[in-house]
Amino acid sequence: MTDSAVQAKVVEMYERRPFPSVADPFRKTAEEMELRLKLLGLTPQDYQGKSVLDVGCGTGEYTSWYASRGARVTGIDLSRTSLERAKAYALSYGLSNVAFERMSALDLRFPDNSFDLTYSMGVLHHTTNPFQGFCEMVRVTRPGGIVIVSVYNKFGRLRHNCKQKWINFMAGDDTGRRVALAKLWFPGTCRRLKRRMRSESDTILYDAFGIPHESQHSIGEILGWFARKRLTYTGAFGPVTIRDVLFAAGLPEFASFEPSLEAFPLSRMAGRTLRGAARLVRARNGAHPFKPPSILSRALIQTAWFVLGFRFSIFSLAGRKEQ
């Protein structure tokens, strides 16, 4: 299948099933954004009053979150349906500092050095060339600006991959049949995914089981991208060293994040255990410089992601562009 054909299939699915379309977007983003940004090494000064680009904005929940915090935000996506929902969502909150354009993540029609912060939340892995999309993000980011990449985690998705492959074998390219079979054969997984989104809609199931194309990545691979494009690592979500995990669990923002673990029993248990461990070691919540993880740290964290499974099926790394 050609690259254009793959892209067309992905866009077609999201035209019919705009994503994420969460039932309570502000609640979901509020649960995770403060912790997410702190662990990525960002401060409000990195986005307040700054120009921000959301690459693959979908229905605009993150776009509007940044705009509501004083950033000037542009969201781009190829799904017209998603963009219309994103515009309506921003208007419902009276946000005038946000704009949306139909554009490919692989061909950003902006001049070099246009934005202070560029991020992509779970989109590059649905393109045919994720590294090209990453290079485009770096190109349009100003020197000294931040680039955040969020991609599927090949270790956290290993068990889910087995389910996907079986369903794809049985249902072929019929995305509707894939979702129907997922609901029949893996009802527990489907219930947990819907509970995570706090919605009875099948939208999350199409993203999990119906997607026509995806790639999966490791921490080491994305760090390699950073090295090639001269980005200085600033942090990660989820944390990618044991030290950073304990730091995260000791933060006051972790209490807001914990409800997002409720649908996943192992992750919920791990969260409570880590919170207790952070208290025992008296993890501090002050200044905490994040360092790139060693090979051993990556191995330990990625093993933990495999055990915890789908709740950690995506991870984010942030880097600052060389001046």
Tokens of 251: 């933060």
The DSSP H or E segment spanning 227 is: helix 219-228
Q: What is the pTM of this model?
A: 0.92
Identify which of 44-48, 243-247, 255-259, 288-292 has the greatest average pLDDT: 44-48
DSSP conformation letters of 67-90:
HHTT-EEEEEES-HHHHHHHHHHH
Q: What percent of the chain has pLDDT over 70?
A: 95
| pLDDT band with cut points at 50, 70 and 90 for residue 23 | low
The DSSP H or E segment spanning 318 is strand 314-321
Which pLDDT tens digit goes with each residue over 99-151? 999 999 999 999 999 999 999 999 999 999 999 999 999 999 999 999 999 99
Residue 5 has pLDDT above 70, yes or no: yes
pLDDT for position 217? 96
* 66, 37 contact by CB (below 8 A): no
**Contacting residues for 118 by C-beta, under 8 A, at least 6 apart:** 52, 53, 55, 137, 138, 140, 141, 145, 146, 147, 148
Mean pLDDT of 45-49: 96
Task: Pick the closest to residue 78 from 23, 22, 33, 123 (CA basis).
Answer: 123
Please determine, for residue 287, whether its predicted confidence score (pLDDT) is greater than 60. no
Question: Residue 323 — very low, low, confident or very high, per pLDDT cuts 50/70/90?
Answer: confident
At 26 the pLDDT is 66
Tokens of 280: 């025992």
Lowest mean pLDDT among 33-37, 89-93, 281-285: 281-285
| 4, HSE (Cβ side, Cα atoms, 13 Å) | 0
CB 188 within 8 A of CB 208: no
- A 10 A CB-CB count for 76 gives 23
Q: Among 204-208, 273-277, 285-289, 313-317, whose mean pLDDT is lowest?
A: 285-289
CA distance 32 to 48: 18
Domains for the chain: give ranges and CATH numbers.
3-155+213-237+313-321 (3.40.50.150)
**Mean pLDDT over each residue of the chain, to the nearest integer:** 89
3-state helix vs strand vs coil in the chain, percent to 5? 55, 15, 30
Other Cβ atoms within 10 Å of 218 Cβ, number: 15
Question: How does pLDDT run across 201-257, given as a tens digit for each residue?
Answer: 888 889 889 888 899 999 999 999 999 999 999 999 989 998 898 888 888 888 888
pLDDT tens digits along 163-191: 999 999 899 889 899 999 999 999 988 98
Instruction: Identify the pLDDT of residue 25.
Output: 65
